Chains A and B, each alone.
Chain A
Amino acid sequence: MLWVDKYRPHTLDKVMVHVEEAQQLKQLVSQGDCPHLLFYGPSGAGKKTLIMALLREMYGSGAEKIKVENKPWKVEAGSRKLEVELTTISSNYHVELNPSDAGFQDRYVVQEIIKEMAKSRPLDVSGNKSFKVLVLNEVDRLSKEAQHSLRRTMEKYSSACRLVLCCNSASKVIEAVRSRCLNIRISAPSKEEIMKVLQHVAKKEGLQLSSSFAARIALASNRNLRRAILSLEACKVQQYPFTEDQPVQTTDWEQYIVEIASDIVNEQSPKRLFLVRGKLYELLVNCIPPELILKRLLLELMKKLDSELKHEVCHWAAFYEHRMQLGQKAIFHLEAFVAKFMSIYKRFLINTFG
């Protein structure tokens, strides 16, 4: 098992980051009931950990007896009948799934699964927790239609189930859904917090981790706790005992984006753009989400940029990121951003150096 999973805190009392939020959640469910919840925050901040701990708090260890199922759902979409294969993780008390995996049929899937769940309420001896919890991941990747149908089903079956939604950006969740949930923002842990967790993991594993190396890992992780623990594990595999000058492992696609960024900065011409296009295609083929590519690319470009240009470049990155959400094919927008950057940068070079 990966360290990330191995050292995941299982109860709300044991969490090391977001202690305050954990205590609030504990109070929230102490009455035995809870509203719908929407967790949002950057990747690797600890949303899922909190959710799992919350479930345990509500249902006891029974919530941890889970089974993984990959079954086809027969869905009636208007006059057609669809069969969508979805993976769910479920216990007696909850069901968890990624509805966005269903692609463009997501709205039928959401409706159908909630209906199904509502039909079979859990039996409880005490009889007071007569609702199930549905955990939906990546709600921000759901289509607008699916989110609207989610809203309706939330109201209709509110007596039978509670929804726990989890997403990165609350702005991509429609207002109607947000207002029906208790919104909980989970911010990215600070560098110090990450270092603390890393030290904790190292201690449990019996490793010697110098604070300076921990700081470097924390810095490289970009305040992503999961990333930090994963790279700690990778570094350990790479070389142990740790040395001070040991490089922190980065992922291959990020390496690739660094390459792209230097390509862009070195030459600004249609020919170079064509080369970059090929590299972007390769990233896309490997299923790296285009939003992530754009973000990463912007960060890399920013490192090499004169501060005079930073504002303008950021503006265009945001512009094309938005376009990407509106459009269909990400490559057009990614490439438009690259071309825009090249054009700005070239103009800057000519103005500065003649």
Chain B
Amino acid sequence: MGKRKPAFVVVSDDEGTDEPPSSEPLITETKPFLTSQVGDSSLSCSIPTGKCGLPRRQSFTQSSDVQAWVDKYRPREVSDLAVHAKKIAEVREWMVNKLQRCDKPDHCGKVLLLVGPTGCGKTAVISVLMSKFEGAELCEWDPPVPTLWNEHLHHVNTGSEGYYDIPYVSKIQQFTEFLDGVTRYPLLPLPHESQDKGNSTSFLRKTVVEKQKVLLIDDLPIVHGRESILKLCHRLYNFALSVQFPTIVIVTDFLGNEEHGQGISTLTTDIVHTFESAGAKKITFNPITAIAVRKVLNRIMIAEKCTVSPELVSFVAESCGGDIRHAINCLQFLCIGSKSISCSWDPGGDIFLDKSKRKRGTGDNSSVKRKKLSQCKLLEKKCKSSIDCRDSSLSLFHALGKVLHNKRITEADKISGKNSIGFILKEELQRHPLNMEEPETLISQAHTDAASFLCFLHENVLEFVDEEGIEDVSVALTYFSDADCLLKSRKRSSSSFFSVHASDEIDPAHIGEAVAGSVCARGVLFANTHPSKPRWLSIRSPSIRQVDRLMNEKKIENYTKLLGVIQASHTMCTHVVQVAELEPLYKQLAYRKGQSNLTLTSKEIGSDLLFFPSQSLGIFSDMEAMDISNEMHVDDMISSEDEIEEW
């Protein structure tokens, strides 16, 4: 049973030779032990090494030259951290409060909640700060390699030996068991420890127990479905109230990442709410600024003695989207490239740092040098295309806000961009260059299809045009009309062409959709020459779907009514006639029911036709309710964006 799980033991720091002297004990994977025993340990080990900046993890000393820089240059001192000083101070203050004055009765909860996007140094801050506290020990819940349900089924069905007797334990169950254990026993018995104790007593050098424990939960299980989310939140709430030690919970924020679906982002917010309601202190980390990332990258470059052109460094720093881990990985990748290239071009040559020495050499070297330089440029280009792989994603509202707000480069910077078009357009067709990504990129980043993007734009565009700009609206709506036609062609082609064409051919349906998205986004950008003044503007979700739904309901209702009409009159009556001509008449007849001798049919039908005004009211109150719930403060988003820049 134990062999499927990586073993974690508590060791003192004397094993880590390249560690700076620090008093905190380390939890290290005992890799040699595992590799000698089980084949699949490589899998179990590869997961934790992806984490950055954790002093508790050590890699092999013999493979330090290929060690990931993320691990090699993880921050050890507070000054190494790229996180904003204010945030660090906040965390430190919390730690001081909890650890050094712990004997005082403390009512304000023992849980610290760190929220932030990936790679913004949440874990690094904790580990660095913890290492500064004497007499405190960081213990982490390390989830075992989960048994996938499918895998389990496979093993059970095929009857593989050894697996057969492993009962299936879901990740959530393990997690709740862990929480139970933690709250019950003050000594923080990590389940893995106790399990592996029998096997690995020789590796286990227990440190003194009187040290204060700080529990770190980094890997909250992810659940799906409303019910299980509630269950998990309930557990966490109880846990947060009853936990004995200072606990740090790290929640990675998927904000705006539509790719992961609504499920996870609601889960994240649910969890955050749960902890907050249980009295946890919440600290939100922002993505790391490009400047800070660049600083870190430069430091690493100096330490590694490799050179990457400053432009490339800033490119890496900017493209990483505040994810420092990603930036360092990119840098390492770039440097590997530069080293190998320089070797192949100049077998005896050194790395680029030595270029200055060679310059002073004889003149015949210059041609080689030039060749090499051009090669460098080429390489850079290649690298740029290959490292720009961290897709930054935008929330749908963010993307909409960009398109609707229509930010453009103003007069001052216009001169530089003017020559980009080779021909001169008429005055009224000229626009300033866009101050944003390509609209197509925006749509793809928002992870939405063109149809819904179109609906959103259509719903919201009117507010973003100045009161005088009805011409602009007219132009924009014409583009919407175009886009809608393009989307229709998508449907048709997907039914007829799709089945006929071979799968490797370009699907015309996709082109139609892509073009439609492009047309509607660019149409709005082009048309809106009188943007309304910046003010409080909310983005509503489109009511078009609501209208469609109501229309279908009404259609079904009408259909049953139509049956009545047909049965009464014994003539087929078309839908249009019924709706447009007969029904209004029935209504008029029904209003006068008392005064006249109505025929049976119109009485029957007329009686339930009176709802028209009341229902129409209903629609709009519904819509408004929906709007309010979906409102989002665009300016708020913009300002938060600015905040990131500032940091």
> Is the beta-carbon distance between A339 and B477 smaller than 8 angstroms?
yes
B485 to chain A: which residues have CB within 8 Å? 323, 326-327
Residues of A within 8 A of B548 (CB): 329
Question: How many residues of B are in contact with the other chain, CB < 8 A?
Answer: 66
Is A340 a contact of B478 with CB atoms below 8 Å?
Answer: yes
Any chain B CB within 8 A of the CB of A36? no
Binds B, one of A115-123, A170-178, A207-215, A225-233: A225-233
How distant is B345 from chain A, measured CB to nearest CB, in Å?
58
A151 within 8 A of B: no
Contacts of B582 in A (CB 8 A): 2, 230
Select which of B462, B481, B559, B592 is within 8 A of A238 by beta carbon.
B592
Contacts of A286 in B (CB 8 A): 554, 579, 612, 616
Q: Are A282 and B596 in contact, with the CB atoms below 8 A?
A: no
> Distance in Å from the Cβ of A230 to the closest Cβ of chain B?
5
Tell me whether A73 is interfacial, beta carbon within 8 Å.
no
Q: Report Cα–Cα, A140/B440, bound state, in Å.
A: 37
Q: Is A5 interfacial (CB 8 A cutoff)?
A: yes
Cross-chain contact B471 with A287 (CB below 8 angstroms): no
CA–CA, A333 and B454, complex, Å: 13
Decide: B484 and A281 in contact? CB cutoff 8 A. no
B551 touches A285 (CB 8 A): yes
Chain B, 101-158, CB within 8 A of any chain A CB: none
Residues of B close to A237: CB separation below 8 A? 588-589, 592, 595-596, 598
Contact A281 B570 (CB under 8 A): no
Residue from A8, A268, A269, A335 within 8 A of B571 (CB atoms): A8
How many of A's residues come within 8 Å of B, CB to CB? 69
- The CA of A326 and the CA of B487, in the complex, are separated in Å by 10
Contacts of B563 in A (CB 8 A): 68, 70, 87
Cβ contacts under 8 Å, A339 to chain B: 470, 473-474, 477-478
User: B463, A270: Cβ atoms under 8 Å?
Assistant: yes
Q: Does A309 contact B (CB under 8 A)?
A: no
Partner of A288, one of B462, B491, B580, B599: B580
Interchain CB contact under 8 A, B462 and A278: no
Instruction: Determine whether the beta carbon of A333 is less than 8 Å from that of B584.
Output: no
Closest to A65 in B: B570
CB distance from A139 to the nearest CB of B (A): 11
Stretch at the interface among A15-23, A26-34, A247-255, A300-308: A247-255
A299 CB, min distance to chain B CBs, angstroms: 14
Of A44, A230, A332, the residue contacting B477 (CB under 8 A) is A332
Identify which of residues 459-473 in chain B touch chain A, using a CB-to-CB cut-off of 8 Å: 462-463, 465-471, 473
The residue from A52, A289, A327 contacting B481, defined by CB atoms under 8 A apart = A327
Instruction: Report chain A residues within 8 Å CB of B588.
Output: 234, 237-238, 249
List chain A residues, Cβ under 8 A from B587: 252
Residues from chain B with Cβ under 8 Å of A323 in the complex: 481, 484-485
- Which of B576-619 touch A at CB < 8 Å? 576-577, 579-582, 584-585, 587-589, 592, 595-596, 598-599, 601-602, 612, 616, 619
Which residues of B, 533-580, contact A by the 8 Å Cβ criterion? 543-544, 547-548, 550-551, 554-555, 558-559, 562-563, 566-572, 574-577, 579-580
Given known A249-B588, A281-B547, contact A98–B474 (CB-CB < 8 A):
no
- Whether the pair B572, A97 counts as a contact (CB closer than 8 A) is yes
B488 touches A342 (CB 8 A): no
Interface: B620 (CB within 8 A): yes
- Shortest Cβ distance from residue A175 to the other chain B in the assembled complex, whole angstroms: 19
Contact B480 A285 (CB under 8 A): no
B467 CB to closest chain A CB (Å) equals 5
Cα–Cα distance between A227 and B598 once the two chains are bound (Å): 19
State the CA gap A331–B454 with chains docked (Å). 12
A288 adjacent to B579 (CB under 8 Å): yes
Q: Is B458 an interface residue (CB 8 A)?
A: yes
**B544 contacts A329, C-beta separation under 8 Å:** yes
B562 neighbours in A (Cβ, 8 Å)? 87
Whole-angstrom CA separation of A269 from B550 in the bound complex: 28
Q: Is the CB of B572 within 8 A of A89?
A: yes
Residue numbers in A under 8 Å from B574 (CB-CB): 98, 137-138
What A residues does B567 contact at CB under 8 A? Answer: 68
19 pairs of residues in contact across A and B, judged by CB atoms under 8 Å: A1-B568, A43-B577, A48-B571, A135-B572, A137-B574, A138-B574, A226-B581, A270-B463, A274-B463, A278-B620, A286-B554, A288-B580, A289-B576, A292-B576, A326-B485, A327-B484, A328-B484, A342-B473, A346-B470
What are the 10 A-B residue pairs with the smallest beta carbon separation, nearest first? Answer: A251-B584, A336-B477, A339-B474, A327-B484, A343-B474, A270-B462, A5-B569, A336-B481, A326-B485, A332-B484
